[in-house]
Amino acid sequence: MIAIIEKAANGTARVVRIVGQTAAWLGLALVLLVAFNVLSRYAFGISSVATQEAEWHLMAAGALLGMSYGLNQGGEVRVDVLYDKFSPELKATIDIIAALMLMLASIFIVWLSINYVHQSYAIGEISPDPGGLHYRFLLKALIPVAFVLLALQALSMMLENIVRRAHLKQPLANPDKH
């Protein structure tokens, strides 16, 4: 049973890692787009609302798709004042509860955001600025996608900690040798 849980944890973490590594290329696209916008504006006097909006669309996509990857790679900020003093079993239990709470919060945000995206799609929402981008629902659709990924990462972390806690509870194979 533990092997199945471990395999599920690794599989969900792998999905998040692949999406995160792919989304990291949005950073390069953003830098190139900003450079293009600055060059075209100051060197040639040409400016485009659509390319300026595309900058924040890329930044939003990178942030949304990158949050689960950051957690996957251990990039979160921790305050370990008390946690460091806890036993390994208590740490694993706390991590299981925290991951479960994150997963539930993420699922709740997905649930809330579905109607938000649907409304945007139904009205054919576009940029309010003349010359802006169309299909704003595509950007908004990244909200539930990003939080599904965050829920998957939280599930992976919860399963990893269940495995870790199970291994901590197992008796030593030969206690006389230790």
pLDDT tens digits, residue range 6-55? Answer: 888 888 888 898 999 999 999 999 999 999 999 999 999 999 999 999 99
Nearest to 61, CA basis, from 103, 101, 19, 18: 19
Which residue type does 57 have? H
125 CB-near residues (< 8 Å, 6+ apart): 119, 136, 137, 140
- Give CA torsion, residues 166, 108, 141, 127, to 10 deg: -140
Residues 6+ apart with CB under 8 A from 169: 89
The residue type of 149 is: L
Residue range 103-140, pLDDT digits in tens: 999 999 999 999 999 999 999 998 888 888 898 999 99
